[in-house]
Amino acid sequence: MDYVLPLRWADDRGLGELTAYLRALGRHVRIIVVDGSPPELFERHAAAWHGLAAHVRPAPDLRFANGKVNGVITGMRLATAEHVVIADDDVRYDEPALARMAALLARADLVRPQNHFARLPWHARWDTARTLLNRGLGADYPGTLGVRRSFFLRMGGYDGDVLFENLELIRTVRAHGGTELRPLDLYVPRLPPEAARFWSQRVRQAYDDLAQPARLALFLSVLPGLAWCVLRRRYGPVAAGACAAVALAELGRRRAGGGRVFPRTASLFAPVWVLERAVCGWLAVGAAACGGVPYAGRRLRRAAHSVRWLRRSAHSARRSAHSTRRSSRFTRWSSRFVRRSGSLGARKPAALCEPSQNGFAAESPQRHSATVARPAGIGTPS
């Protein structure tokens, strides 16, 4: 199994901890670190990870706005194993989780495990409420995925000019007819962010909901509904809504043995998280109206493509590939036919100018070999 780790760091505060993790991880998988960090940090990483991982820059031909996708596609090109784990730099696999991932990838094209925070400061419990609500309604969106390399290359990768790149990859696999597994009990730890980073990501994470219109509409309705209740002094619906959020989060916490990794107090943060998302949802809509959300010095307008758009794109790609194969087969057939039979002019070029009693040289039908060479199509770039 190969392990692709895309990263771009502005400082090296976590270098020692990540190096220790890579040293332990390297006993079980081949590691490919695709590093988009500034030159001085890149050189420091190269020295620290020498012998632990293949350490490379993102491929120069990739120019997606989301740098993580450049790293993922570069890593998938360099991978040699059929089963590949893609993981953020804060994800921490152990040997049992890797073994389970390998077993699941034997029968699926994409595996979507469940992240949980290895440490639980207050803001990690707050963000865990989001995870629990997602589990209560279905499945969460983790910072790591398992993919089959052959299927990834066959579908040509995925679009990197989006903010919610994991959802884009998941939807692209679905659009190409791939099989997805969502094992709710495959728990993979991740390190919590610092509080400052947690706050900086609130609007950006809310922007992801623009790719899920029904979800966005639900959260946008919270503030108007809350204001109406307060103005009318009807606090019963507010309390009922808060209790419903806690109950749904608790349902998600208990699913698939989640009580082993998720604390009880995280469910109590559900109403707080819903209120946060309601506020940030409106800020995200405002950012979209202004051209997109800031990301790595640029603005990303699209959160992710719709499933319908991706299916149309996949269908067009398949039709184009089919036409290319037919055109290539016809061209090869025509070339073989020309070599075998030759054209009339090649056999007797002067005969085209020789008069006959009909005004032209007599031509036997079997001597004709009309060929029309069609240019081969251009394959879809990966």
In a domain, 327, yes or no: no
The residue type found at 161 is: D
- pLDDT at residue 343, rounded to an integer: 45
In a domain, 93, yes or no: yes
In a domain, 337, yes or no: no
In a domain, 312, yes or no: no
Query: Which of 62-71, 288-297, 325-334 is predicted with the least confidence, judged by mean pLDDT?
Result: 325-334
In a domain, 286, yes or no: yes
Give the pLDDT band of residue 378 (cuts 50, 70, 90): very low
Q: What is the pLDDT of residues 110-151, one digit of tens each?
A: 999 999 999 999 999 999 999 999 999 999 999 999 999 999
Q: Which residues contact 200 (CB under 8 A, 6 or more apart)?
A: none
Q: Is 35 helix (H, G, I), strand (E, B) or coil?
A: strand
Distance, CA of 123 to CA of 263 (rounded, Å): 13
Q: What is the mean pLDDT of residues 82-92?
A: 98
Distance, CA of 122 to CA of 296 (rounded, Å): 27
Q: What is the mean pLDDT of residues 223-247?
A: 96
Q: Which two tokens stand for residue 160?
A: 């990197």
- pLDDT at residue 352, rounded to an integer: 38
In a domain, 355, yes or no: no
148: domain CATH number is 3.90.550.10
For the chain, the domain total comes to 1
- pLDDT at residue 107, rounded to an integer: 96
Q: Which residues contact 157 (CB under 8 A, 6 or more apart)?
A: 73, 76, 382
Distance, CA of 274 to CA of 137 (rounded, Å): 14
Q: Which two tokens stand for residue 223?
A: 């503030």
Q: What is the pLDDT of residues 36-52, one digit of tens each?
A: 999 999 999 999 999 99
Distance, CA of 79 to CA of 83 (rounded, Å): 9
Domain range for residue 273? Answer: 2-131+141-305
Beta bridge partners of 188: 115
User: Does the pLDDT at position 24 exceed 70?
Assistant: yes
- pLDDT at residue 332, rounded to an integer: 64
Give the pLDDT band of residue 55 (cuts 50, 70, 90): very high
In a domain, 322, yes or no: no
Query: Which of 44-53, 87-96, 272-281, 347-356 is predicted with the least confidence, judged by mean pLDDT?
Result: 347-356
In a domain, 380, yes or no: no
Q: What is the pLDDT of residues 177-213, one digit of tens each?
A: 999 999 999 999 999 999 999 999 999 999 999 999 9
Distance, CA of 161 to CA of 304 (rounded, Å): 8
User: Does the pLDDT at position 328 exceed 70?
Assistant: no
Distance, CA of 344 to CA of 368 (rounded, Å): 6
Q: What is the pLDDT of residues 338-359, one digit of tens each?
A: 455 544 344 444 443 444 444 4
Query: Which of 58-62, 176-180, 263-267, 360-364 is predicted with the least confidence, judged by mean pLDDT?
Result: 360-364
- pLDDT at residue 322, rounded to an integer: 61
Q: What is the mean pLDDT of residues 221-240?
A: 96
Q: Where are the beta strands (DSSP E) in 36-113?
A: 54-56, 83-87, 110-111
Buried b or exposed e, range 313-332, using 16+ CB within 10 angstroms = bbeebeeeeeeeeeeeeebe
- pLDDT at residue 318, rounded to an integer: 74
Query: Which of 21-25, 165-169, 233-237, 370-374 is predicted with the least confidence, judged by mean pLDDT?
Result: 370-374
Q: Where are the beta strands (DSSP E) in 267-376?
A: 293-295, 298-300
- pLDDT at residue 316, rounded to an integer: 81
- pLDDT at residue 325, rounded to an integer: 62
Q: What is the mean pLDDT of residues 227-231?
A: 96
